[in-house]
Structure 1
Amino acid sequence: MSQLAPYASKPEDTLGRLHGAGPSPTRSEFQRDRDRIIHSTAFRRLQHKTQVFLHHEGRHFRNRLTHTLEVSQIARSIARSLRLNEDLAEAIALSHDLGHTPFGHAGERALHRSMAPYGGFDHNVQALRVVTRLENRYAEHDGLNLTWETLEGILKHNGPLTNAKGHPDGRYVEEGLPTGIDDIPAIADLRLSSHASLEAQVAAIADDIAYNAHDIDDALRAGLVDLDTFLDAPMAGPIVQEVKALYPHVDPKRQTHEVQRRMITRAIEDVISYSARMVETSAVQSAEEVRIAGKTLISFSPAVAEAEKGLKAVLYSRVYRSETVMRPVRESEAVVERLFAAYMGGSEMPGRWGQTAGSGIALVERARIVADFVAGMTDPYALDEYQRLFDARPDFR
C-alpha cells in the first residue's frame, strides 16, 4: 500500500470491527468488507429493485444492482487516479444503496410517511441496519461485521449529519436526525459532525455521475425523450452537439452511447482535476485531517457543478416528473403504504419477521420491524405480498 497518498485510508490503520475476525493472509481489511457486501443477501436483492423505471417495464433498464456496479466502477477510477484506497471506495459504493426500498425513491417516500409517527425512515441509516443487524449469515454475530471506516462511509458519504455543536445539519435541519442513528453497533463512535474519508466522498460523487449519464440513457430507451431534448441542456448539451456533428449518420442508439461515455469520462476527469487541487490546497496529510478539514474535498469544479445542477433540473422536468414515470410511482407508493398499514394492523409477516413482531412488543418496535421487512423487499416480492394480502395486483401500465 506504499503507493497510496498520505491522506488515503490505510487498511492497517483501521479502527477495526466490532467482532474480532483475525487477520487474513490474502486480503486487506477493506477487501474483506467488499467481499462480505458482495456475498450478502441484501446485495443480491438489488437486482430486483427499481432504479427509475419499474422492474416490470423491461430488462434493459437499470436496476439498483446495475446502478451500484456502475457507481463502483466510477469510484474505483477516481480513487485510483487520486491515489486513494480503491477497495474502501468500492466497498462504500457497493453498499450505498443497500437500505433502499422496493420501487426506488417512491417506495422510500411512502415508507418515510408511514414511519413518520415512529421517527421516519432514512435509507442511509437503513443500510447501516442491514449491514450491522439484519444480515444473518454468520454463526458468531448478526450483520456483516464491517470495519469502522466502511460503516462511517455508508452513513456520511453525503457529508456530516450534525454541526460541531451537535445540531442537525444539511438535509436534516428541517426534520431532525433520522431515528435509529443512535442504535448502530460499531467499534467506535461514527462521529456525526465530521466529514467521512476521501474514499467515501469519491463514492458519493460517483453516484451523481452515474445517475446523470445513465438516467439519460434509460429515458431514451423508454421513449420519453430523444437526444435532441438535451441539445441545449447544461452539461449534456455540448456533448450531444459534438457527437451529432462527428457522427451524423450513426444509429441513434450508438450516438446515445457515445454521449453517455463522453459525459462519464469528462465528469470523472473534472472531479479528478479539481479534487486534486482541493486536496493540495487543504494541505491535509492524513485520513484524520480529511475528517476535520471542515469541507468536502472531492467535488466537481464550480462550473461543472453548476452545469450538473442544470442537467438535473432538465431530467426532473422531462423524465422524473413525466406522467409515464409518475403514474406507476403513485401506484407503487400506495403499495408500500398499504403493506405497512396491513402489517401494523396485525397481518402476518412470514418467517422470522412474524416471530420477532409477535404480541407484547411496543408499537414503535413493531413499526421498526415492519419497516425493516418492507424495505428489504424486492419489487416482485412486494407485489406478491400485496396480492396475498389484498387479492389484487396493481396495474403499473
Structure 2
Amino acid sequence: MDYNEKLKHERFRASTAPKKTFDEEMESDRGRSINSAAVRRLQQKTQVFPLESNAAVRSRLTHSLEVQQVGRYIAKLVLKQLDNDGKLRELGLEDKKDGFTSAIEIACLLHDVGNPAFGHFGEEAINMWSGTSLLNIFTEKFGDEVRESKLLKDLLCFEGNAQAIRLLHSLQDLNLSFTQVACLIKYTRPAYEQRPSGKTEPYKYRKKKPGYYYSEEEYVKKLQSSLGIESGNRFPLTYIMEAADDISYCIADLDDALDKGILDVDQLHQAIVSIWESYLDDDEVDNEVVEKRYLPNLAQKAYARYESESHNKNHSYILTLRTNLVNDLANYASERYISNHESVFNGTLDESLLDGNDEYNLATEVLKGVAFKYVFSAKEVERSELQGHAIISGLLDIYTPLLRLDYENFKSLSKSEFLKTFPIETRLYHLLSNKHKRYYCDSVKRLHDAAVATDEDKIIEMYYRSRLLIDYVSGMTDRFSFEEYRSLLAID
C-alpha cells in the first residue's frame, strides 16, 4: 500500500496557481470549498425540521460542521496509530498527514451539498415527479422503447450524493482535486445501473445507491484512472467521511427532538433501553452483545448526570451521552480502518466502518431506531415533510411546460431567450438560474450546431433539459423554494 498513489494533487484542469506539495493543494481545496455557494446554501437547508426558526436546531450546515469535526478526530486517530506502528513512511503518509486530514474534513463539510430542500423527503418528491411526469413526457416524445434508455433510467434516480458530484464539478466548476472529490463518492455505480439485488452480490453495499450521473461519468472515469480506483471500488478516505456522518447524525436528530420538545429525557432514556433490549429476540444479533448493555449503560450515566443538575438538565443528558458515544465510535471506526487496511485502501470493503456484530454497531442501530420511531414519525415532522413534498413537486410541475416544448422551440428559446408564441414558457425560462442555463447550453452546443438533429440527439438534449430543471429546483434552499412556490401560485 502506497498512499502516494491515492493522495495526489491532479485536477480536471491544471490549476492556475499550482502549489508545491500535496498538503498545500489540500489547503487550496479547503479555500475553494468553504468559499463556495454550495456550502453557504447549507445554512438554509433542512436537517430534519424544515423552515425552522430556532437557530439552535441543526441545519445542513451545522450538521456538516459537526461531521467535519468527527472526521478530523477519526483521521487523527488513524494517523496516530499508524505512527505508533512505525508505518507512516512505509505507507507514503509521512509528509501528507495534514493533507490526509484536510481532505477528510472538507469531504465531511461537502457531503450534503447535493441534498435538495426539505431533506430526504425532497429527494423522494423529485423521484416521484420523475417517475410520473418526466417518464410520461419522454414516452410521449420518443415512444415506449425510450424506457430502456440509460439516459432516462439515469434521470429517474435522483440522489443527493450523485448530485453533489454534479454540483461541485459541472455546475459550480470548483475544479477540486481528484483526491478531494473521490472522498465524496460514497456509492460506486452510475444512476442508470440497476442496484445489486442478491445478498451475496460483491458490491451490494457500495452500489446500494447511485453515486454519480451519466453527465459526470467521463469525469469520474478520469478521476478513477488518476487515483488507481478500480470500477465499483471506493476511495479509502471515503470510509472515514461516511463513518463521521453516521456517528454525527445518529445522536444529532435526538438532540434536536429534545430541544423542540418532541421527546423529553425520560421518554428518550426509556426508548433507548427498550429498543436495545428488543434485540434480545433478534436472531441476527449476538445475545452476548446485547447483554453487555453498552448503550443503556452510557444512557444511565447520562441520566445520573441529568438528575444531579439543577439547571439545563436536558443539555447535561445529551452532552454526556454524545461525548462518550462519539469518542467510543470514533475510536472504533479508526480501529476498523486499520484492521481492514488493505481492503479499505483498495476500496473493496463492502460495508461501513461502523458495521460489525458488536456493541458499537448495535448502538448506532438502536439510536436510528429511536429516531425513526419517535422523531421522524412525529406529526410535526411528517406535516413538514408533506409540505416540502407539495412545494418541490409543485415547483417541478410549474416548470414542466419547458419540457413539453419540442426540440426546435426549446433550442430557439435557449438561444434567444424569447418565444413569441409561448409566453408562459418564455417567462419560466427567464426565472431559471443563469449559471444552470449556461451549463445546459454548453452541454448541448454540439447538438444545436448540427444541421439536423437525430432522434438520439433529441433524447440527449431532453436529458440535459430535464437536468436543467432538476438542478434548479434541487439547488433551492428551504426558504427560497417556499417563497418561490407561493409567488408563482400567487399566494399572499
Query: Deviation of residue 54 (structure 1)?
Result: 1.2
Query: Deviation of residue 181 (structure 1)?
Result: 6.1
Partner of 1:195: 234
- Determine the C-alpha separation between the residues in 2 that align with 1:32 and 1:122: 28
Partner of 2:409: none
Q: TM-score, normalised by structure 1?
A: 0.82
Q: Which amino acid aligns with 1:148?
A: F
Partner of 1:151: 181
- Determine the C-alpha separation between the residues in 1 that align with 2:256 and 2:488: 33
Residue of structure 1 aligned with 2:8, choices 14, 17, 24: 14
Partner of 2:474: 375
- Determine the C-alpha separation between the residues in 2 that align with 1:172 and 1:81: 24
Query: Deviation of residue 388 (structure 1)?
Result: 2.0
Matched, 1:228 2:263: no
SS of residue in 2 equivalent to 1:50: coil
Which deviates further from its counterpart, 234-243 or 64-73? 234-243
Distance 1:98 1:192, change over 3 A: farther
- Determine the C-alpha separation between the residues in 1 that align with 2:474 and 2:396: 10
Equivalent residues, number: 371
Partner of 2:18: 23
Q: Which amino acid aligns with 2:432?
A: P
User: What is the aligned-residue identity percentage?
Assistant: 25
Query: Deviation of residue 166 (structure 1)?
Result: 9.8
Matched, 1:32 2:10: no
SS of residue in 2 equivalent to 1:54: coil
CA contact (8 A) 1:50 1:63 kept: yes
Matched, 1:88 2:147: no
Matched, 1:245 2:304: yes
Q: TM-score, normalised by structure 2?
A: 0.67
Q: Specify every segment of 5 or more residues in structure 1 that has no aligned partner in the other structure, as ranges.
A: 1-5, 136-142
- Determine the C-alpha separation between the residues in 2 that align with 1:289 and 1:220: 37
- Determine the C-alpha separation between the residues in 2 that align with 1:195 and 1:283: 13
Partner of 1:3: none
Q: Deviations over 1:126-184 (max 9, x none)?
A: 0001110111xxxxxxx11111122222112xx5448xx99744378788776436535
Residue of structure 2 aligned with 1:269, choices 324, 328, 341: 328
Partner of 2:397: 341
CA contact (8 A) 1:216 1:315 kept: yes
RMSD: 3.2
- Determine the C-alpha separation between the residues in 2 that align with 1:355 and 1:281: 47
Partner of 1:291: 346
- Determine the C-alpha separation between the residues in 1 that align with 2:344 and 2:368: 32
Distance 1:173 1:245, change over 3 A: closer
Distance 1:350 1:281, change over 3 A: closer
When Rg is computed on C-alpha atoms for both structures, the one with the higher figure is 2
Partner of 1:256: 315
Query: Deviation of residue 236 (structure 1)?
Result: 5.2
CA contact (8 A) 2:399 2:469 kept: yes
CA contact (8 A) 1:125 1:180 kept: no
Matched, 1:350 2:432: yes
Distance 1:281 1:227, change over 3 A: same
Greater fraction of residues in helix: 2
Partner of 1:387: 486
Query: Deviation of residue 326 (structure 1)?
Result: 0.2
Query: Deviation of residue 93 (structure 1)?
Result: 0.5
SS of residue in 1 equivalent to 2:232: coil
Q: Deviations over 1:41-85 (max 9, x none)?
A: 111000001110112442221101000001001100110111162
- Determine the C-alpha separation between the residues in 2 that align with 1:207 and 1:297: 11
Q: Specify every segment of 5 or more residues in structure 2 that has no aligned partner in the other structure, as ranges.
A: 80-96, 136-154, 197-202, 277-293, 403-427, 449-457
CA contact (8 A) 2:205 2:351 kept: no
CA contact (8 A) 2:9 2:178 kept: yes
Partner of 1:216: 254
